[in-house]
Amino acid sequence: MATDWYIEATAFGNCNCDYNCPCQFEMRPTQDNCRGFEVARIDRGHFGMVDLAGLCYALFYAWPGAIFEGNGEMQVIIDERASEEQRDALATVLYGGETEAAATHWWVFHAMSSTIHDPLTKPFTFDVDIEARKAHVTISDMLESTGRPIISPATGDEHRVRIDIPAGIEFEIAEIGSASTKARGAIRLDLDDSYGQFNHIRHNGSGVVHGTG
């Protein structure tokens, strides 16, 4: 029997696509390849009897083409404050374990990756405001990323855009902004003013948990 788990988190991500992220619309990536990361703070969560609340994690990924074409690589980074049990639990879930086939983006990312790097533990600083589309995240010596609202070149005002995917495997609604990232490690990133995503994650082993407000 699969382990019962649930993760509710505040998340921010940045990839190398334009603001619309064609992957969300079943189109090929802007640059015909995909590189980026997701970082989140778990607000509520458990894996069996293991409490996961308060911990941060990050997921780095890269594909030479579209995600569905495979041959990608991924790596999980886990908050250094996590106990051994918590680290094992998060690595399991974020690498797609104890999850129904294709039910979460984590499962799909793992299935579409031919290179799976070992998880690492690092200290995080995490400051994300979904409604304001603002973020500043650092992961030790590995990553620094900032997010901001899209600014209209015509008016200079903030431009608000949301993506709503009722039957998605990652989120129901995401706020979209601009983000810039520098990352060093197994999967390197050098992103400037590209797709920024601000959203809540509510997952269990069957996929996105709907209707939680």
User: What are the domain boundaries of the chain?
Assistant: 5-206
Please give the Cα distance from 209 to 205 (Å, whole number): 10
Asked if the model's pLDDT at residue 1 lies above 60, the reply is: no
User: pTM for this structure?
Assistant: 0.96
Asked if the model's pLDDT at residue 3 lies above 80, the reply is: yes
Q: Kindly report the average pLDDT of the chain as a whole number.
A: 96
Please give the Cα distance from 111 to 101 (Å, whole number): 9
Q: What is the pLDDT of residues 148-179, one digit of tens each?
A: 999 999 999 999 999 999 999 999 999 999 99
Q: How far from the centroid of its chain's Cα atoms is residue 24's Cα?
A: 13
Q: Which of 38, 41, 43, 60 is nearest to 147 (CA)?
A: 38
Residue 36 CB-density burial (10 A; 0-12 exposed, 13-18 middle, 19+ buried):
buried
Asked if the model's pLDDT at residue 210 lies above 90, the reply is: no
User: Are 202 and 213 contacting, i.e. CB atoms less than 8 angstroms apart?
Assistant: no
Q: Would you state the pLDDT for residue 188?
A: 98
Q: Which of 45, 62, 18, 26 is nearest to 169 (CA)?
A: 26
